[in-house]
Amino acid sequence: MKTDIILAGVGGQGILSIASCIGVAAMNENLYVKQSELHGMSQRGGAVQSHFRLSDKPIFSDQIPLGQADIILAVEPMEALRYLPWLSENGMLVTDSAPFINIPNYPDTETILSEIKKLKKHVLVDANGLATSIKSPKSANIVMLGAASKYLQVSFNSLENAVCEIFKNKGTVIVETNIEALKLGRDFAEKYLCN
């Protein structure tokens, strides 16, 4: 078993928290993990991406070759498109549908979403809307993690435990809210794929 994941977004959207949750879940299931990160001008809203590889056998490189990613998990739709060259022919794109417009010439949102919808395997999530529905807009990244959970090759229970471990120092309310966000994302993706 091997899963290669590209995590993509904009600085401040919680990409590294997603990576931490997946990493803790994978290690708790005795899987091997390799991760590399590229921080653009993340403090100024620049691109942030991470190559994340997990396997039941040792992994020798932290870089995913072009056309080999099983999943792109993006918290920003234009960033999702930026990394499509890494997605395998049968790969799944899971992305937030809400743009993070931080440049004056940001492309038309409908054009971006229509490109995403051309992919055979995709899930478009209004993560900000779902997170706001539970009064926690900051948990949009965990909504996205939940939406991608079916494809990550770690159990949902392990992801829940990882969220608890990652957020435990922030208090019970934050932990419970993020568990709710995780479940909300998973439930949304299941409904999306049934439509």
pLDDT digits (tens, 9 = 90+) for 37-51: 665 555 556 777 889
- Count of beta carbons in the 10 Å neighbourhood of residue 16: 18
Strands 2-10 and 87-96, sheet pairing: unpaired
Measured CA to CA, the distance from residue 178 to residue 195 in angstroms comes to 26
Whether the model pTM is above 0.85: yes
> What is the structure's pLDDT at 14?
78
pLDDT single digits (tens) 55-106: 999 998 889 999 999 999 999 999 999 999 999 999 999 999 999 887 788 8
pLDDT single digits (tens) 109-119: 999 999 999 99
> What is the structure's pLDDT at 100?
85
Cβ atoms of 50 and 16 closer than 8 Å:
yes
> What is the structure's pLDDT at 80?
94
> What is the structure's pLDDT at 193?
81
Q: What residues contact residue 192 under an 8 Å CB cut-off, 6+ apart?
A: 123, 124, 125, 147
End-to-end CA distance of the chain: 29
> What is the structure's pLDDT at 103?
79
Which position has the higher pLDDT, 13 or 58? 58
Q: Give the residue-averaged pLDDT of 28-35.
A: 93
pLDDT single digits (tens) 125-183: 999 999 999 999 999 999 999 999 999 999 999 999 999 999 999 999 999 999 999 99
